[in-house]
Structure 1
Amino acid sequence: MRATSFCLLYLLLPLVNTAQTTTPRFSADTVIHLLQDTYLELAAKHPGFYRYVSRPEYQQYIDSLKKTITDSLTEVEVYQKLKPFTAKMGCLHTGVSLPAAYTDSINHLPNLFPFQVAIQNNRMYVIQNFSGDTAIHPGDEIVQINSHTIPQLLQVILPAIPSDGNNTTLKYRAVYHLFPTLYRNLVQTTNSFQVQVLHQSNSHTFTLPAKSFDAIASNGFLKEVSPAQQLHFSITDSIGVLTIHSFSVSDIKKSKQQFSNFINAAFQNLNQQHIPHLIVDLRNNTGGSDGNAALLTSYFFDTAYRYWDRIEVTEAIAKDIKGATTLFYRKPIQKDNTWLWQKARTVRDFDYYETQKPAKNHYTGKVYVLINGFCMSSCADVTAVLAHHQKATFIGEETGGGYQGNNSGLMPVTTLAPTRLRLTVPLQAYYNAVNPAVYMGRGTMPDYTINETINDYITGNDPVMKAAIDTIKKTPAAL
């Protein structure tokens, strides 16, 4: 089955799994061979390995990376080599991690940067201060951390964060949610930080103790966002607002909701009350069930339409569908030099490349979809299909998931021996039924770009929702 969710937890697993404690060392030759073997394995089995990066470019990158390995490395240092290597292909579902037990043990130690931060124009600002030093205020600019300038840190951190294609909005969202573990993971592990801070244009330097994970982590910061309810619907002043935090069946079930019943009731209500405007808030929806995502999309169409164009696999994976596996999945078929995945025998997860029918209670009013860099995976499929058919006005920032589709589906995890590093590899490449010449290597683009300010982060202001409501007030009703 396709992964039920690409959530903040998926980002956290690779990013909180490192610290420079006592670990085995691996010779330079061992690491170089591991890198080469991983490269060959991905090239053979990852269906999107060359989706955004050409073979010669990747080979040049690998050759350059090998030259940096001149001495033995710890397991963490091997991880630091592999993270940007796997992220380079532009696949947010491909990840490298260390064992969970290792992560659990280091999270009890004080080794995390004691601030939540946000990046704007390559500059870093304090959003929350956990250091205990009241001389540092939200909104202050952090200029250096342990003698590293912020541009220097971003040159290390951003290339190691996976996102689809050439997207960067996901990467900056990840920095906002995860910077302390990113720093510990990719830069250094330390129990104190020397921080240069600008407060009202005055520079001050502080030496601050590190904090443990439990001391600073909260809902949405270093931990997965966990709303009380995944689905919410309301109508105010003839404007419907439908918020979908996740398409994941398990997440929705935990909030004691049922997706199809909830969505159908919401659209039935919209139509019965003749509500002319609907805001669909998909911000921070990191994906989930393709069935739920495709179902939502059907409520915005009044004629048949295409959702996915096709699903591709590599030849190596196509030939692995044999024996008992064929009880569940049909063998892919070859078309020219491409292997196409077929409908499964026992599940409907791969059915959405067929022509789709509109929902019975489909909506004909004006639709405004709120998006940001944490719209990923199946959520990004929804936005792409709606954008392609001009079914909505998009407000916010570019989605983190690819407009053209993504690589996901069956996602086995393997151990990269002789290390304990774990590699997640998606085996299917999904291609949305959209114009292949539009937004190549990018996400769905907003019609109205709204950038949150540092003050918005600090105060909780929502300029994106405000922009949607302001747009509606200027727009004549459709029903």
Structure 2
Amino acid sequence: MIIKRLILVLLCVFAFLVNNVSATEHMQNLQNMLTPAQMKEDITAWQDFVNNTHPDLSIRIKNPAAFDKSLTAFKQSITKPMSVNEFLSKFALLNSQFNDAHMLVFTRSQKGLAKEVINNGGLFPFEVTVKNGKVYLASLLGGQHSPFAKAEVISINEKPIKDIYTDLIARMYGDTVKHRERLLSDKFALFYWLFVSKGEQFKLTLQNGSISQTVEMPASKTLPKSFNGKSFEQTFKFEVLDQQQALLIIDAFWWRDKPRFYQFTENVFKQLKEKQIEHLIIDIRNNGGGDDDMWKQGIVKYIANKPYQHTSKYTKKIIAKYMDEGETEGDVVTKVFDRFEQPVNDEPLKFSGKVSVVVGSYTYSSAILFANTMQDFGFAEIVGEASAGYSWQTGGIQFLTLPNSQLKAVTPRFYLVRPNGKQQGLPVIPNKAFQDDVLKPQQLINTIMNEFNAPAN
């Protein structure tokens, strides 16, 4: 009996230890120490991965020779052991040089790490908006209202915000500075913890107009809003706004149960027909991408009145798992894309009214391809603010876990020219530009509605 109890106690202790280790898996990995040889092996593995996958670094890296020099200098600077967190802090400085949100080196799971941190100390307690080199409070972490919303942050724990901004924006991935600022807005709390301080108390100096104040807050135990998974109903929304106009919000072109999405959009276009709606507003401001078939089958088939394509030319690296007959692994191929999607002419729910697609700084990847297609083939008018990502997009992202640090590397394998073949190095530029307040998204929708209702001059 005593032996059985002892075994039971030992099993409970073992289970506790296993659960405790798994509960801090990502945090523990960041604390692991690496030798210089291990770090250099990881850098070499990353270089081989990129060389074997990326079609052409010069597509986005403005000065490849200077980049190669900085990479060599980074490798040569590694002369003593570091923690994985320290190694990441140095490696991540390359992220901003890639000029591509589809290319980065980072932790294996940002959400997984954030979950561990809030259970073991906590994160910076506010959601923020990063814009033009400045940081403004938006809400409490997780999205709850804060009386300090819109206040400009001057310093955190006596460190000037300009120095914090410089440290973080240099390690953020994204197509442009504007894009990196938009992504940093969502991930500020985690980036602060990774690259600035893991403190559990925060003293903020704020400026709101002519009023300066100091606020002290403990670390938050709440998950950042961007890491909270959305339900189907939160991701895809439809609303009839008035007798003439309706709003379709699509926050992602991805859902595991795609037939559910297709049923949703079929019902949307059925209502548009029944209610004789004349103006459909499709809001993709918060759409970071997904699968192209979601918008081709779920939206464009109800709108397109002529053949269309999502790209006019592509450049791709031939890799083994995506190699077609006659192709050679390792080759870089550039070809005109001559395949067109055909309109569904007998679609009973075809919408023939005006379509406005709302874009913004977060619109990216497949959502940019959707906006390009709608604009270039005249299926819609693009409205809002220019995208922060480029209209010529990379894609087909591939992943590698580095052997020693267990950091995750991401790189694209192809590059797409938008359908009209123009605007290289430019964002999606709206046909009609309207200012957007990220804290008051309905204001832009109201502006678009009023513009439609206004009598023609």
> How far 1:415 moved relative to its partner?
2.1
Opposite residue 285 of structure 1, the aligned amino acid is: N
Residue 424 of structure 1 corresponds to which residue in structure 2?
A: 410
> How far 1:82 moved relative to its partner?
2.3
In the alignment, the residues of structure 2 paired with residue 332 and residue 196 of structure 1 have an alpha-carbon distance, to the nearest angstrom, of 63
Residue 434 of structure 2 corresponds to which residue in structure 1?
A: 450
Give the paired residue count. Answer: 423
The structure 2 residue matched to 1:233, chosen from 238, 243, 257, is 238
Structure ranking higher in helix proportion: 2
The structure 1 residue matched to 2:172, chosen from 148, 154, 161, is 161
Residue 342 of structure 2 corresponds to which residue in structure 1?
A: 357
> How far 1:75 moved relative to its partner?
0.1
In the alignment, the residues of structure 1 paired with residue 83 and residue 95 of structure 2 have an alpha-carbon distance, to the nearest angstrom, of 18
Residue 280 of structure 2 corresponds to which residue in structure 1?
A: 278
In the alignment, the residues of structure 2 paired with residue 193 and residue 229 of structure 1 have an alpha-carbon distance, to the nearest angstrom, of 32
Residue 425 of structure 2 corresponds to which residue in structure 1?
A: 441
In the alignment, the residues of structure 2 paired with residue 113 and residue 139 of structure 1 have an alpha-carbon distance, to the nearest angstrom, of 16
Q: Secondary structure at the match of 1:471?
A: helix
> How far 1:73 moved relative to its partner?
1.9
* 1:270 to 1:124, Cα distance in 2 relative to 1, 3 A: same
Indicate if the aligned counterparts of 2:108 and 2:406 stay in contact, CA closer than 8 A.
yes
TM-score for the superposition, normalised by structure 1: 0.76
Opposite residue 186 of structure 1, the aligned amino acid is: F
* 1:332 to 1:451, Cα distance in 2 relative to 1, 3 A: farther
Q: Secondary structure at the match of 2:150?
A: coil
- 1:67-466 paired onto structure 2 within 5 Å: 69=78, 71-100=80-109, 104-129=115-140, 137-163=148-174, 165-166=175-176, 168-199=177-208, 201-211=210-220, 215-217=221-223, 220-226=225-231, 228-235=233-240, 236-250=242-256, 257-259=260-262, 261-271=263-273, 273-295=275-297, 296-315=299-318, 317=319, 320-321=320-321, 330-331=324-325, 333=327, 338-339=332-333, 354-360=339-345, 361=347, 362-408=350-396, 411=398, 413-435=399-421, 437-438=422-423, 440-453=424-437, 457=439, 460=440, 462-466=442-446
Q: What runs of 5+ residues in structure 2 fail to find an aligned partner?
A: 1-23
> How far 1:369 moved relative to its partner?
0.9
Deviation string 1:410-434 (CA, Å, 9 cap, x unpaired) is x3x3221221212233334344323
> How far 1:123 moved relative to its partner?
2.5
TM-score for the superposition, normalised by structure 2: 0.80
RMSD: 3.5
* 1:474 to 1:49, Cα distance in 2 relative to 1, 3 A: same
Q: Which has the higher contact order (CA 8 A, sep 6+)?
A: 1
Indicate if the aligned counterparts of 1:114 and 1:130 stay in contact, CA closer than 8 A.
yes
Indicate if the aligned counterparts of 1:47 and 1:407 stay in contact, CA closer than 8 A.
no
Q: What runs of 5+ residues in structure 1 fail to find an aligned partner?
A: 1-15, 343-351
> How far 1:229 moved relative to its partner?
4.8
Deviation string 1:172-220 (CA, Å, 9 cap, x unpaired) is 3323322111211222222222322225534334443322xxx2226x3
Residue 473 of structure 1 corresponds to which residue in structure 2?
A: 453
In the alignment, the residues of structure 1 paired with residue 393 and residue 122 of structure 2 have an alpha-carbon distance, to the nearest angstrom, of 38
> How far 1:34 moved relative to its partner?
3.1
In the alignment, the residues of structure 2 paired with residue 89 and residue 187 of structure 1 have an alpha-carbon distance, to the nearest angstrom, of 22
* 1:225 to 1:48, Cα distance in 2 relative to 1, 3 A: farther
